[in-house]
Chains A and B, each alone.
Chain A
Amino acid sequence: MTDEIILQVKDLRTYFYLDAGVVKAVDGISFDLHKGETLGIVGESGSGKSVTNLSIINLIQTPPGRITGGQVLFHGEDILKMNSNRLREIRGNRIAMIFQDPMSSLNPYLKISTQMMEAIQLHQGLNKKDAKAKAVEMLKLAGIPGAEKRVDYYPHQFSGGMRQRVMIAMGLSCNPDILIADEPTSALDVTIQAQILELMQDLTRRLGTAVIMITHSLGVVAGICDTINVMYAGRIVERGTTDDIFYDTKHPYTQGLIKSVPRLDRDTGERLFSIEGQPPNVIDLPDCCPFYPRCHRAMEICRQKYPPVAQFINGHCTSCWLYSPKDAGTFNLKDEKK
């Protein structure tokens, strides 16, 4: 990880306009990504993890979705304002993506070689022969035995773990600056998951690629991420280095999340901690703290207004009224309008 910032997300808002109302899937999130950094985005289903990443490469389906505000600066250039030609130069080349289910993201009708060479030829301008050599080289890097032969296999001839290796090889084949991985190991077994995580970590370190890793598993982020964004109902509720998030947890939601995972390495005791209640319905969310109905430390102000960001050391920050007592005291519903 270096100090060079390659991606800046500023106050990004992605809303979905449905018949039932407006879903604020991503509602004003901001973060930076440094070169070579591995950023984990954790949260439960519906918290806006995947929409964040689709917004970053401007892949939101319109309608019903629309990016209504904010900026995504990639090396200083706003991705949200690019025309389609410029976008095409970036997607798959400078910013690559891998998805949860490798079978549905590979084309079953085409050989692996065809699918890999397509991106390599398009973005790197290599001829067929060189592109194929590059594809074989990437498959070898991704630890696929017999890559020369298997490059001409079809996706169904690979197992789940092998397919995910192919996806990683494909994603990294153009040496992107950022690799976005959306739940890359959730469909895999534990032993295969360990293989794939190890591979991703090893390859991205060697190539200096920054990774945005979306996952719901706290175990996965603890193992491989440098920094973590915790999301709840479309907002980042806490952000910080992995150590800060795990050992100096600020937000009650993060605290609850960490406590409610059963642990292998220690005795969890008779009863597991659990956050009561259900995740909020995201349609037409009021402008208050969305976690307050489930929060054991909720105050009156939490019900009225969304908390400002409270800063701590090392870029650790959280949005919770517990850490903004001054604002909480002077708060007046009438003159504050967001």
Chain B
Amino acid sequence: MSGNILDVQNLKMHFYMGHEGIIGGKKKYIYAVDDISFTLAKGETLGLVGESGCGKSTVVRAVSQLYRPTSGKVLLEGKDLTKLNKTEMFSARRNMQLVFQDPYSSLDPRMTTAEIIAEPMQIYKKRGFVKMSEAEIDERVEHLMELVGLSKFFKNRFPHEFSGGQRQRIGIARALALRPHLILADEPVSALDVSIQAQVLNLFKDIQKEMGLSYLFIAHDLAVIKYISDRIAVMYLGKIVETGGYKDLYANPLHPYTKALLSAAPVPDPAVERKRQRIILKGDVPSPDVQRPGCCFYDRCSEHKDCCRQSQPQFIQPAGAADGHQVACFLFVQK
């Protein structure tokens, strides 16, 4: 086993959308995630960024096996999750926990804080995977609440008694309950206000340092991703188009889409805003219901060539780019 906690290879997630016509027509699919590969080292944070509909959340669900992937491998600590049976999967899930976007709908309104945080432990205890007494669980709940910055006196309160930021802390405490090695966080701060967002982001960083966790962190906000991530993967229309270290990717974006994305993100500084030249992309993101023979960004790219339409660009590391900074674009293919 290498030092990678997560190794995703050629992951595809296609959703069957019925037939065309009444009888015998072609099968229709949504190609939500189409052939992506990435790795995540121990203690590292990989930020996955892209616009709505590009397949970020589907990646999280396919990796956590909430969806059974169409094809591809998901290796968690060397074990291929796509090949496990139910019991094995149940056991493997302990090491991989989720934090969701909406802290309002991801907590059961009829359970108290303590019950919510203890639930993963109770479930694994029932099936005999965890041996903990009730007192130990209780103690762990209190410890977790303290860890995420909630007073243990809130134990018997219900979710509606908390603000959005506090609820997200409960969600994080629940995810940490089973001492996982990997946290999949799907837009965990996008529903929060600016001042609270900063608190929760800092909490994620603190916990990582303390427990040596790895994060697969999803967000559409580029600045948030830059702050939290060690490495970043930019997704567009079900594919990863560029990946690299957070500094390299922001200092020297290669793919035309990454460039447009970075130039479009507003910066809270009037002087910077006045000076900058935005790359305004034409049109909207196309629908993912056809598999394109060429580059997925072809229709909106200002620098496209003939070959972009015909075949798909492979991941390469262009000359002069930093180590590990890779891009899938024909502009960097030497002829």
Residues of A within 8 A of B (CB): 44-45, 159, 161-162, 189-195, 197-198, 216-224, 242-243, 246-247, 256-258, 260-265, 267-268, 270-276, 278-279
A-B contact list, 15 entries, CB within 8 Å: A44-B193, A44-B195, A159-B284, A190-B222, A190-B265, A191-B261, A192-B51, A219-B267, A224-B273, A246-B269, A264-B267, A265-B272, A272-B198, A278-B163, A279-B195
* Residue from the list A191, A194, A257, A267 in contact with B195, Cβ < 8 A: A257
Closest to B191 in A: A45
A218, B205: Cα distance in complex, Å: 23
Distance in Å from the Cβ of A281 to the closest Cβ of chain B? 9
**Within 8 Å of chain A (Cβ to Cβ): is B199?**
yes
- Are A222 and B268 in contact, CB atoms less than 8 angstroms apart? yes
Which chain A residue shows the least CB distance to B50? Answer: A189
**Complex: chain A residue closest to B282, CB-CB:** A195
B-chain residues with CB within 8 Å of residue A273 when the two chains form the complex: 198
**CA gap between A224 and B278 in the complex, in Å:** 13
Q: Is the CB of A242 within 8 A of B163?
A: no
A161 to B199, CA, bound (A): 31
B223 interface residue per 8 A CB criterion:
yes
A198 touching B265 by the CB < 8 A rule? no
The smallest C-beta distance from A273 to any residue of chain B, in angstroms, reads 7
Chain A residues in 8 Å Cβ range of B222: 190, 264
Q: Tell whether, in the assembled complex, residue B268 and residue A258 are in contact, meaning their CB atoms are under 8 Å apart.
A: yes
* CB-based contact B250/A264 at 8 Å: yes
Q: Which of B264-305 contact A (CB under 8 A)?
A: 264-270, 272-273, 278, 280-281, 284-285
Contact (Cβ within 8 A) A264 B197: no
Contact A191 B266 (CB under 8 A): no
From B52, B195, B267, B272, contact of A275 by CB (8 A): B195
Q: Which of the listed residues B165, B226, B268 has the most CB atoms from chain A within 10 Å of its own CB?
A: B268
Tell me if B202 counts as interface (CB < 8 A to partner A). yes
Whether the Cβ atoms of B223 and A264 lie closer than 8 Å is yes
A195 touches B194 (CB 8 A): no
**A191 engages B281 (CB within 8 Å):** yes
User: Which of B52, B260, B270, B280 has the most C-beta atoms of chain A within 10 angstroms of its own C-beta?
Assistant: B270
Question: Are A219 and B265 in contact, with the CB atoms below 8 A?
Answer: yes
Apart from A44-B196, A265-B267, list 18 A-B contacts with CB within 8 A: A159-B284, A189-B52, A189-B220, A190-B265, A193-B264, A216-B193, A219-B273, A222-B268, A223-B267, A223-B270, A257-B194, A258-B268, A260-B197, A262-B226, A264-B226, A264-B262, A274-B201, A278-B166
Contact at A194–B264, with CB atoms within 8 Å? yes
- B residues 205-260 near A (Cβ < 8 Å) are 205, 220-224, 226-227, 247, 250, 260
CB closest chain-B residue, reference A259: B198
A263-B267, A265-B269 as given contacts; A278 in contact with B165, CB under 8 Å: yes
Establish whether residues B195 and A260, one from each chain, have CB atoms under 8 Å apart when the complex forms.
yes
B194 touches A218 (CB 8 A): yes
| Given A189-B52, A190-B261, A262-B226: A217 touches B266 (CB 8 Å cut-off) | yes
Cβ–Cβ < 8 Å partners of A193 in chain B:
264, 266
- Inter-chain CA distance A162–B282, complex, in Å, is 12
- Measured CB to CB, the closest approach of chain B to A258, in angstroms, equals 6
Interface string of B44-58 (1 = CB under 8 A from A): 000000011000000
Residue of B nearest to A281 (CB): B163
CB-based nearest B residue for A272: B198
The CA of A161 and the CA of B300, in the complex, are separated in Å by 15
The digit string for B72-110, where 1 denotes a CB below 8 A from any CB of A, is 000000000000000000000000000000000000000
Known contacts A161-B284, A219-B266, A246-B268; A268/B227 CB under 8 A: yes
Task: Say whether A272 contacts B227, CB under 8 Å.
Answer: yes
B51-A189 in contact (CB<8A): yes
Neighbouring B residues of A246 by C-beta, 8 Å: 268-270
From B193, B260, B263, B266, give the contact of A223 (CB < 8 A).
B266
Nearest CB in chain A to that of B250: its residue = A264
A13, B221: Cα distance in complex, Å: 35
How many angstroms from the CA of A162 to the CA of B285 in the assembled complex? 12
Of B51, B52, B202, B264, the most chain A CB neighbours within 10 A belong to B264
Chain A positions within 8 Å of B278 at CB level: 194, 198
A222-B269 in contact (CB<8A):
yes
Nearest Cβ distance between residue A138 and chain B, in whole angstroms?
20
Query: B201, A262: Cβ atoms under 8 Å?
Result: yes
Asked whether A191 and B260 contact (CB < 8 A) given A219-B268, A271-B205, A274-B198, the answer is yes
Q: What distance in Å separates the Cβ of A102 from its nearest Cβ neighbour in chain B?
A: 13
For A190, give the chain B residue with the smallest CB separation: B264
Q: Which chain A residues border B266 with CB–CB below 8 Å? A: 193-194, 197, 217, 219-220, 222-223
**Which interface residue of A191, A218, A273, A278 has the most chain B CB atoms within 10 A?**
A191
**Which residues of chain B have C-beta atoms less than 8 A from A278's C-beta?**
163, 165-166, 196
Q: Does A262 lie within 8 Å of B224, measured CB to CB? A: yes
A44 to B195: give the CA distance in the assembly, Å.
8
Complex alpha-carbon distance, A220 and B265, angstroms: 9
Q: Which residues of B contact A159 (CB under 8 A)?
A: 284
Listed residue (B193, B196, B220) with the most chain A CB atoms within 10 angstroms of its CB: B193
CB within 8 Å for A44 and B194 given contacts A190-B264, A194-B264: yes
Chain A residue with Cβ nearest B49:
A190
The reply to whether B265 and A279 contact each other, CB–CB distance below 8 Å, is no
A271-B227 Cα distance, complex, nearest whole Å: 9
Residues of chain A within 8 A (CB-CB) of B268 are: 217-219, 221-222, 246, 258, 261, 263
